[in-house]
Structure 1
């Protein structure tokens, strides 16, 4: 008998786009395409039809991350944050201690996160473990600096003024930020080498940023647009993913979880080992919210004596349980959800656009 996790669900190929880069859905029927040296704003329908006709293109410096605004972008670099206008001018700049780079060139751990209502943007900056004001070294070298925990800043997008700040208990190599759609809460995850993920949900108030909860070893995925119980007054829920990083004796768990932001413990858990044949033959890359009902989980299985096989499972966003395994008529790579039940996957020639049957 076929288990629910192995029930076939055939993905429908909607179209292809001959470009690479990272895609981010925006409001107003637009999306942003970020590549190594540029940020492009596209009409979503035109882009997904395969036509590459950007509405606006902004050049980006090397090893930077960026987030689009209505009239420009916020750009995070190795040793500073800049607001650029739609014509590429720098409106303001906020320098900071250079990011720690180890053997690589320093770069920000993740992109900035503009507030859904506009006017504010959330960014992480590194700090030194000793007092004093740090400036970037000539040439941008960062090795040997005594780093302390990073600081979360809420900036005014028009002036660059710091509206609120809050230290976090992590030195981020990777960071993920998600705003609740109404802008009332910010979810932040930080991955620190040898310590895994730590995540918080943070409430901006007039007197600062208030941490509402914290979750160890879990990365924020997204806010559920519709709470699991469906009630209009139900508290917002967050989805998180725990990966078996095996940095501790009891760290052999891959889990999806849903969280009530008013509680400390998850309200719903699903052990992802149940999707595959065995705990020692699976590896999970990510989880992606397709819409308010569907979650796509991606991973690899390792059949004995055979190469690793990429697997995608469709799960119920409320219960976290599998609905089936997604089958594709073509090879797939990393996933970008578009929020309307469709998603993109990366392949050698560009991007493929998929939908559910």
Structure 2
């Protein structure tokens, strides 16, 4: 058994709230709560204090749509063949049609609204009339040929296309986010049989120049010092493709500045799984995973890492069972969900050799 990261790190229970749906963090100290057919936006502290009845904004949706809230109380909605913006009363501000998504009639990713609410990043598919110019052999829909997807930069107020950049993906899934200062847009696309590809771009007056990127790593979050955190999953798509790892890249130079082979945390590297990496604050990253100790039933564990080096600090010691879902709140606290119970946690101490005194 690998003992790296086995030191126990205490946590502090900061409250429990009942919730009807899946919860994720949104900019501006808000929470997005999604139940079948409905997306609600709540003030974070009000919701976690148990005052969950009144949402600041709500939108009826379908399973085919992906939704992002705007700072002004509206929404940007990606659908099967368009992107549209709604005001806080549900009125349509603009709609941008695009070619229908391949594979299924649903949007592949949530639009990314910039921190200042002025720009939107979105990945869209592109049909190619000439079969000889298609990006790859695509036989799921014989009447359609696609070339590589486009990453679009849109004006959030008008829907005008401010920048367009082709990215080498035919995405079945895509995740994207802006850096906290709004200076970079990072997008990760998963293409069947080609794994994840990730790019970071710098929106500017000249369009959407790509600053850098990496392959087989997906966006996980942002670290202090203009760094992006990525995660690689063992997909077994290629020979020797059996490694789960984290990587930190400098957004300016594109260089990898830190890495962690997650086998260091594993009990059984062949079977253990690592689901995500959540940036808690300027000093800590949380990694949830499922391990198989002593050949017994799988167990959920959460590890704390040093945000600068990605080295393990220890394993979080919870008083109740936790699952694989973790929602970081950007203030050093985080959420775990157990059925309809939403728990908020903080670190009991951070004065460790790896983290330094706080």
Aligned residue for 2:280? 290
Task: Give how far 1:22 is off.
Answer: 3.2
Measured against aligned partners, the alpha-carbon deviations of 1:269-299 in whole angstroms (never above 9, x if no partner) come to 1111111234224221110101111100111
Measured against aligned partners, the alpha-carbon deviations of 1:235-292 in whole angstroms (never above 9, x if no partner) come to x211111111111112111111111123344111111111123422422111010111
Aligned residue for 1:148? 147
**1:121 and 2:111 correspond:** no
Task: Give how far 1:131 is off.
Answer: 5.6
* Structure 1 gap ranges (5+): 133-141, 228-235
Measured against aligned partners, the alpha-carbon deviations of 1:56-90 in whole angstroms (never above 9, x if no partner) come to 22222332111111131101111111111111111
Q: Is the 8 A contact 1:58 1:87 kept in 2?
A: no
Question: 3-state DSSP class of the match of 2:276?
Answer: strand
Q: Is the 8 A contact 1:220 1:241 kept in 2?
A: yes
Change (3 A) 1:126 1:2: closer
Question: 3-state DSSP class of the match of 2:213?
Answer: strand
Q: Is the 8 A contact 1:189 1:198 kept in 2?
A: yes
Residue number among 340, 345, 353 corresponding to 1:354 in the alignment:
345
Aligned residue for 2:259? 269
Q: Is the 8 A contact 2:27 2:115 kept in 1?
A: no
Change (3 A) 1:264 1:118: closer
Task: Give how far 1:346 is off.
Answer: 2.2
State how far apart, in whole Å, the 2-side matches of 1:23 and 1:13 are: 19
Aligned residue for 1:165? 164
TM-score by length of 1: 0.88
1:193-212 matches, cutoff 5 A: 193-212=192-211
Question: 3-state DSSP class of the match of 2:242?
Answer: coil
State how far apart, in whole Å, the 2-side matches of 1:300 and 1:185 are: 33
**1:25 and 2:26 correspond:** yes
Q: Is the 8 A contact 2:245 2:259 kept in 1?
A: yes
Task: Give how far 1:325 is off.
Answer: 0.7
Measured against aligned partners, the alpha-carbon deviations of 1:79-132 in whole angstroms (never above 9, x if no partner) come to 11111111111121112222123xxx4222221001112211011111113269
* Structure 2 gap ranges (5+): 132-139, 349-358
Aligned residue for 1:231? none
Task: Give how far 1:203 is off.
Answer: 0.9
Task: Give how far 1:2 is off.
Answer: 9.6
Aligned residue for 2:7? 7
Aligned residue for 1:301? 291
Q: Is the 8 A contact 1:114 1:121 kept in 2?
A: yes
1:84-103 matches, cutoff 5 A: 84-101=86-103
1:196-345 matches, cutoff 5 A: 196-224=195-223, 226-227=224-225, 236-333=226-323, 334-345=325-336
Q: Is the 8 A contact 1:298 1:310 kept in 2?
A: yes
1:56-75 matches, cutoff 5 A: 56-69=57-70, 70-75=72-77
Aligned residue for 2:48? 48
State how far apart, in whole Å, the 2-side matches of 1:213 and 1:310 are: 35
State how far apart, in whole Å, the 2-side matches of 1:237 and 1:264 are: 9
Q: Is the 8 A contact 1:59 1:88 kept in 2?
A: no
State how far apart, in whole Å, the 2-side matches of 1:209 and 1:36 are: 35
> Across the two proteins, how many residue pairs are aligned to each other?
335
